[in-house]
Copies of this chain bind each other. A is one copy, B any other.
Amino acid sequence: MAQDPLYGYFTAVAGQDGQISADELQRCLTQSGIAGSYQPFSLDTCRLMITMLDRDMSGSMGFQEFKELWQALNGWKSTFASYDRDRSGTVEAQELQQALVTMGYNLSPNALNGIIRRYSVSGRIPFDEFIGCSVRLRCLTDQFQRRDTSRSGHASFHYDDFIQVTMSV
């Protein structure tokens, strides 16, 4: 069987334990060139990526999670690129809104405006912020749905659980 090329990127930075931390993930993603001509991911965004898939809460990532991340990143990158037609590395607020609809999120104007305010830099959304936004939105939506077992669109949180879910991403 041909070796998975992703495995090469991964093992180049993973130590003996086969796990990578946020700064190793940052190096790994930079070396893989996944960001293309866009700015490399910030350490903050890499920390978020680890949290998104960190089921054992270890703060690090194994190869299976890395493959899963890789797939998600490629999807988000294509979505971003389809809106960034002039290849400026940024999209407009309204384009972020459309991208989120494309990604399947059904949010009110108030929620969308809150997201835009949070992720805009000088009125536009850079690639790294777009990815950070996508990771957090997916994490928070997953956590919400786990608590909304009847799919009613409502979920109840204990204070400690709410802080755990929201402060770790």
Contacts and interface: CB of A to CB of B under 8 A. Distances in A.
Interface of A: 43-44, 47, 51, 57, 59, 107-108, 110-111, 113-115, 117-118, 121, 133, 136-137, 140-141, 144, 148, 153-169
B117 A168 contact: yes
Contacts of A162: 140, 144, 155
Given A154-B156, A156-B154, A159-B148, A167 B114 contact: yes
Nearest to A108: B160
A115 B57 CA distance: 12
Given A117-B51, A118-B169, A169-B118, A154 B158 contact: yes
B160 A107 contact: yes
Given A117-B51, A162-B144, A137 B107 contact: no
A144 B168 contact: no
A115 B165 CA distance: 10
B153 A154 contact: no
